[in-house]
Amino acid sequence: MPDSMVPLLEEWAKHIPEMEIVSLEESGEYELDEINRRMTIALRYLKETGVIRYGYDYTWIMEAICDGAIKGLGAFKSPQSYMDYLRSLGVESVPSRTTLSTWYGKILGHYPNWEFIDTQDPQEILRRINVVRQLISMLNKAGKG
């Protein structure tokens, strides 16, 4: 919600006794630290520009994070924890556990030297690796602005 709307919402909420206002400062769970703020911007950009074409493209990002290619984020313990992370960043159409697990199983090696058991098409392999390259580039740009 834009900051300018907070006073209006607070005033409106005063008239509804059942409603409790929880301050962002008190909860802390809705605030994004720097890396997650940048991740939100980067993921939104990649989706809007068509770099992330398919739901399974989020798998490449999950694997790159687990490989340590994106500094500041630890590995995910499960596809569910990654799905929860994406939702916390506001990603719409988060892929399912099945999708993430299935595509995760198609990756061999460590980023950026991945091989894929489902394709030998050099263009598709490059596209998948470029999802992560472009994410890292956008993370760096988002950190500067």
Q: Which 3 state secondary structure label does DSSP give 47? A: helix
Query: 35 and 73 in contact (C-beta within 8 Å)?
Result: yes
Residue 7 lies in a domain: no
Q: Spell out the residues 6+ positions from residue 69 whose beta carbon is closer than 8 angstroms to its own.
A: 111, 112, 132, 136
Q: Which 3 state secondary structure label does DSSP give 27? A: helix
The count of other CB atoms within 10 Å of the CB of residue 110 is 13
The pLDDT of residue 43 is above 90: yes
Q: Which domain holds residue 59?
A: 32-144
Residue 24 lies in a domain: no
The pLDDT of residue 23 is above 50: no
**Of 7-11, 36-40, 100-104, 112-116, the least confident:** 7-11
Number of domains making up the chain = 1
pLDDT tens string 83-129: 999 999 999 899 999 999 999 999 999 999 999 999 999 999 999 99
Q: Spell out the residues 6+ positions from residue 76 whose beta carbon is closer than 8 angstroms to its own.
A: 62, 65, 66, 82, 85
The pTM of this model reads 0.76
* 7 preceded by a cis bond (ω within 30 of 0): no
